[in-house]
Amino acid sequence: MGTVHKTPGEEAFENVPGSAVRSFEAAFAGDVIRPSDPAYDEDRRVWNGMIDRYPAIVARCTGVADVVAAVDFARDQGLPLTVRGGGHNVAGTAVRDGGLVVDLEPMNGVRVDPDERTVRVEGGATLGDVDRETQLFGLATPLGAVSQTGVAGLTLNGGYGHLSREYGLSLDTLRSVDVVTADGRVRTASEDENADLFWGIRGSGGALGVVTSFEFDCYEVGPEVAVLFAWFHADDTDAVFERYLEWTAEGPREAGVLAFTAHVPPLEEFPEEQWGEPAVAMLGSYRGDPAPADAEGVFEPLLTAATPIADFSGPMPFVDLQSMLDEDYPDGLRYYWKSIYLEAVTEDVRDLMIRYNEASPSPLSTIDLWHLDGAVADVPQDATAFWHRDKPYMLTVEANWEDPADDDANVAWARDAIADVGALSVAAGRYGNFPGLNEEDDPARATFGDNYERLVDVKTEYDPENVFRTRASVPPRTA
């Protein structure tokens, strides 16, 4: 007799008593997706095409009561528990083989209070959902740079974006959160209520519970901003970086610029003779005075560093800036990203960026240099669980490719690049949203720095059984 191969999800589901599953489904208002359901293969997928995991159950939550029911069920049945917000996490932490997915995607409501200048965001919302509502009132909160990114994952790990130098990390503008902790209780956390939990949530990457809603401060932004987006041939990299570093030393907080090495895409907006060539580019925005239409002078030093091969700079609606990179990160592409912080951008750093860009197995990959500092560095390092505020730059290696046969080459390229940068004296640390884990990594120590022990204390208090467990999170002392 032949045997039937079962997925890890099917095996785990069969080990859960049927009576327990029926009781859970009866108490759950949303959809409970089993491995045998037609929707299962679609609902287990996430944005990163590299991730191919088989959970036992996908619980699509319609409200906080569903989240409580799902957490209680997973804990009581001993199922590994994961959380999917916007589903854009590059490491694919939203799904685990044999686990239960608390899927917040249906919970994507956004409510703006224009008088208080706050916005309440549910755990399944994306940046685009938030920008659409806040810009109706000429407001924004500092989130990321791709509109399809989930607010929850971005914020819980930090949150860099176009507004960071002026207003801080996404987590820095939080007023409060509502969170379901491992015991199934619903708690509100803020500076005045459950303050230790609020401290830990801001940076712990979801290790302390399921955040069902976020309350952010908002600021006047837009509707138009001045945008810098210029591409230069790789032969001009030294000149561009020299001018870029001069600019970052004096640039206004109302402006932020990301520099990156890449390959010229085969698009009609670029000269055809340059397609596929190594390049260096800069993307940024400015929101201060003078008005965006008259703000060319802010970016003029950068635009005159060399002759651009393509220049898309100019006034632009803020919502268009936030979504202009969306098509570069489509669902199903394969992604592997790693990060490291820099105390300075030395000649060695620049040489490595150039060398690894030229050697990239995929023309879709980039090496990005984020200028941080500003409001991010104003917050004391021990004010939240997020530690790496003192570094003025962050380098991220984005391996992006299409063919599964190229997985090993692209992952090795990203790991080798970060290893070489990490060997430099100016490099240290890790950003939780771009972990790119190696088997030998101890990511929590690298991410949380001197906040590690305090975060372990908070984890021990609120999740002593390590219900919310990932490789990048701290363990409780009881584990």
Amino acid residing at 117: R
CA distance 16 to 178: 30
Q: How confident is the model at residue 2 (pLDDT cuts 50, 70, 90)?
A: very low
Region of residue 58 (phi > 0: left; psi between -120 and 50: alpha; otherwise: beta): beta
361-418 pLDDT, tens digit each? 999 999 999 999 899 999 999 999 999 999 999 999 999 999 999 999 999 999 999 9
CA angle 208, 212, 217 (to 5 degrees): 100
Question: Cα separation of 438 and 217, whole Å?
Answer: 36
Residue type, 438: N
Average pLDDT over residues 203-220: 96
Query: In this structure, are residues 89 and 433 in contact, taking their beta carbons and an 8 Å threshold?
Result: yes
- Kindly state the tokens that stand for 330: 């489509």
Domains delineated in the chain: 9-103 (3.30.43.10), 110-220 (3.30.465.10), 224-428 (3.40.462.20)
Q: What pLDDT is recorded for position 436?
A: 65
Say which residues have a Cβ less than 8 Å from residue 57's Cβ, sequence separation at least 6.
Answer: 13, 21, 32, 33, 34, 79, 100, 101
Side chain identity, residue 413: W
Average pLDDT value over all residues in the chain:
94
Render pLDDT for 321-344 as a digit per residue (tens, 0 to 9). Answer: 999 999 999 999 999 999 999 999
Q: What's the whole-number mean pLDDT along residues 125-133?
A: 97
**Distance of alpha carbon 441 from its chain centroid, rounded?**
19
pLDDT of residue 1: 43
How many CB atoms are closer than 10 A to CB 452? 15
Tokens of 151: 């607010």
Nearest to 151 by CA among 61, 223, 216: 216
- Nearby residues of 276 by Cβ (< 8 Å), 6 or more positions away: 263, 264, 266, 363
Handedness of CA 31, 102, 89, 409 (dihedral sign): negative
pLDDT band at 95 (very low <50, low <70, confident <90, very high): very high
pTM, 2 dp? 0.94
Q: Measure the CA–CA gap between 313 and 294, rounded to whole angstroms.
A: 12
Is the per-residue pLDDT at 154 higher than 70? yes
The C-alpha atoms of residue 447 and residue 193 are separated, in whole angstroms, by: 26
Cis geometry, peptide bond prior to residue 380 (ω within 30 degrees of 0)? no
